[in-house]
Amino acid sequence: MPHDHSDHPHALLPPEPALRVKALETILRDKGLIDPAALEEIIDTYQNKIGPQNGARVVAKAWLDDDFRAALMQDATSVVRDLGFYGRQGEHMVVVENTPDQHNMVVCTLCSCYPWPLLGIPPGWYKSDAYRASAVREPRKVLAEFGVILPKGTAVRVWDSTAEVRYLVLPMRPQGTEGMDEDALAALVTRDSMIGTGLARQPEGGAS
Amino acid sequence: MSRVHDIGGRFGDGPVLPEGQDAPVFAADWHARALAVTLACGSLGQWNIDTSRHARERLSPKDYTRFSYYEKWISALADLLVEKGVLTVADLTGVDAPEAKHPLADRCLRADQVQGVLASGGPADRTGGPASLFQPGQKVRTRHPGGNAMVAGGHTRLPAYATGAVGVIERLHGTHVLPDSAAHGLGEAPEPLYAVRFAASELWAQPEHPRDEVVLDLWQSYLSAEDT
């Protein structure tokens, strides 16, 4: 049941956030409830191992291989699982594809749900009140803040992640990338392009 | 009435401030610690993801607004640990002497278990539950007033901006745990979950573009059939 007590226990901890975390961590460690080595392992995983490079790999494969793309659109969860990109906050994946007719953009207005196994930990702006509040109501204004201006004929579809389904945007493949291999293509796929607040990079020397 | 976290569509937050694509994953060391401590405590098995989301939503509006993202996490975690009896108020104030082994110490997440726990995740789909009532392409209307139908002020995933709105079923995701129930220890009560698309003009007084849409994932009990 909801408890709306005014005496929230957190107020007993130091108010300064770094000290608050440290205090709680120390209490839990002294009671044997958390293992400092496990914390290091969690931090190392999200700092160094899991990040947008995973999603970029998926996008590059989809650009290169129509069968892969079709399977991805049909059942993203099992396709990315086969690539080793499954886990916490990515248990139910759906990929949405940008086209000249429709641009997709992902938000979580109620908290900050995000496809961790494919994109890592969300950036600060994704978790900000400003993004959560405005992405659903004025996505084009938000896109402009990211330097993205869509053609007038392109509709915007905003996906508000209200359940445990996580969305990844499949950006359009840039012009001038014919013949590029998977690694070169993956390097063009930015984190923001997979959230839908950006577009894939143009190749160097290509049309800008 | 919804709670302070339900901010979709709100005016007045100012512009979004993008960061570089190469900004550090954690802007400060304590952000990383807050995330890791929270995930590690999840392994103690005393709550589910809906409970922990609701703990953040139940921060007072004053705290929710002034706290940064990871301050919300760590503060809600402290509240939840006490509420679930894992820690006592005395533990937080530091007056407790070190005691005998904590009854949950055997559940402590060890370093060699981390990869397995993160990789296995926590799927929300279930077998059973009621049959799906709606088909892709069908018109539906969301519940109004919104809010948790079972618990006053309880957890729900129907945002205020989308209550009483008419949309179209985009797809059926399967049968998923109902957060409105699971957050309150009332069982998982799995239900069909749908992606439902709404014209922006159905949700906003001044939509940016006539063809823009918003899609939300909504449980069957949030929806009723809308005659065409």
Whether residue A2 has pLDDT greater than 90: no
Mutate to test the interface with A, among B215, B220, B223 (most CBs of A within 10 A): B215
- How far apart CA B214 and CA A142 sit, in angstroms, is 15
User: Chain A: residue nearest B91 by CA?
Assistant: A27
Name which of A107, A208, A90 is nearest A156 in CA terms.
A107
Whether residue A205 has pLDDT greater than 90: no
CB distance B9–A88 less than 8 Å?
A: no
CA A162 to chain CA centroid, Å, is 14
Q: Calculate Rg over the CA atoms of chain B.
A: 20
Task: Kindly report, residue by residue over B49-82, the tens digit of the pLDDT.
Answer: 999 999 999 999 999 999 999 999 999 999 999 9
Task: Quote the Cα angle for A48-A52-A53, to 5°.
Answer: 75
Whether residue A3 has pLDDT greater than 80: no
CATH number of B80's domain: 1.10.472.20
In a domain, B130, yes or no: no
Cα dihedral sign, B135-B136-B139-B141: positive
Whether residue A208 has pLDDT greater than 60: no
In a domain, B14, yes or no: no
Answer whether B169's CB lies under 8 Å from B163's CB: no
- How far apart CA B102 and CA B107 sit, in angstroms, is 10
Task: State both tokens at B66.
Answer: 């002034």
Q: Identify the pLDDT of residue B227.
A: 85
Taking only residues 156 to 195 of chain B, the set having a beta carbon closer than 8 angstroms to any beta carbon of chain A reads 157-159, 161-162, 173-174, 176-177, 179, 184, 193, 195
One domain for residues B33 and B114: yes
Task: Kindly report, residue by residue over B186-206, the tens digit of the pLDDT.
Answer: 999 999 999 999 999 999 999
Share of chain B above pLDDT 70, in %: 98
Confidence band of B21 (pLDDT split at 50, 70, 90): confident
Tell me the ipTM for this assembly.
0.97
Contact B39/A at CB under 8 A: yes
Q: Identify the pLDDT of residue A207.
A: 47
CB distance B75–A10 less than 8 Å?
A: yes
Confirm whether A113 is a catalytic residue.
Answer: yes
Confidence band of A144 (pLDDT split at 50, 70, 90): very high
Q: Which residues of A touch B28 (CB under 8 A)?
A: 18
The number of beta carbons lying within 10 Å of the beta carbon of residue B175 is: 21
User: Chain A: residue nearest B8 by CA?
Assistant: A133
Name which of B74, B81, B68 is nearest B33 in CA terms.
B74
Confidence band of A16 (pLDDT split at 50, 70, 90): very high
One domain for residues B64 and B95: yes
Of A2, A42, A130, the CB nearest to B40: A42
Whether residue B90 has pLDDT greater than 60: yes
CB distance B68–A17 less than 8 Å?
A: yes
Confirm whether A134 is a catalytic residue.
Answer: no
CB distance A124–B27 less than 8 Å?
A: yes
Domain boundary among B86, B120, B154: B120
Q: Which of A6, A78, A108, A193 is catalytic?
A: A108
Task: Kindly report, residue by residue over A167-177, the tens digit of the pLDDT.
Answer: 999 999 999 99
Mean pLDDT of A200-205: 90
Domain boundary among B88, B120, B152: B120
Task: Kindly report, residue by residue over A21-44, the tens digit of the pLDDT.
Answer: 999 999 999 999 999 999 999 999
One domain for residues B166 and B83: no
In a domain, B22, yes or no: no
One domain for residues B98 and B172: no
Mean per-residue pLDDT of chain A = 95
In a domain, B47, yes or no: yes
Task: Kindly report, residue by residue over B94-148, the tens digit of the pLDDT.
Answer: 776 666 789 999 999 999 999 999 999 999 999 999 999 999 999 999 999 999 9
Contact B38/A at CB under 8 A: no
One domain for residues B106 and B153: no
Number of domains composing chain B:
2
Min distance A17 CA to chain B CA atoms (Å): 6
- How far apart CA A156 and CA A162 sit, in angstroms, is 18
Residue A105 to residues A82, A98, A142, A194, B182, Cα–Cα distance (Å)? 25, 9, 10, 8, 29
For residue B65, list its beta bridge partners: none
One domain for residues B97 and B148: no
- How far apart CA B54 and CA B51 sit, in angstroms, is 5
Q: Identify the pLDDT of residue B98.
A: 63
In a domain, B18, yes or no: no
Task: Kindly report, residue by residue over A55-110, the tens digit of the pLDDT.
Answer: 999 999 999 999 999 999 999 999 999 999 999 999 999 999 999 999 999 999 99
3-state SS string over B90-121? HHHHCCCCCCCCCCCHHHCECHHHHHHHHHHC
CA B72 to chain CA centroid, Å, is 13
In a domain, B3, yes or no: no
CATH number of B204's domain: 2.30.30.50
Q: Which of A111, A134, A193, A208 is catalytic?
A: A111
One domain for residues B116 and B189: no
In a domain, B23, yes or no: no
Binding residues of A for Fe(3+): 108, 111-113
Domain boundary among B58, B89, B120: B120
- How far apart CA A195 and CA A113 sit, in angstroms, is 12
One domain for residues B68 and B96: yes
One domain for residues B43 and B110: yes
Q: Supply the range of the domain harboring residue B36.
A: 29-120
In a domain, B131, yes or no: no
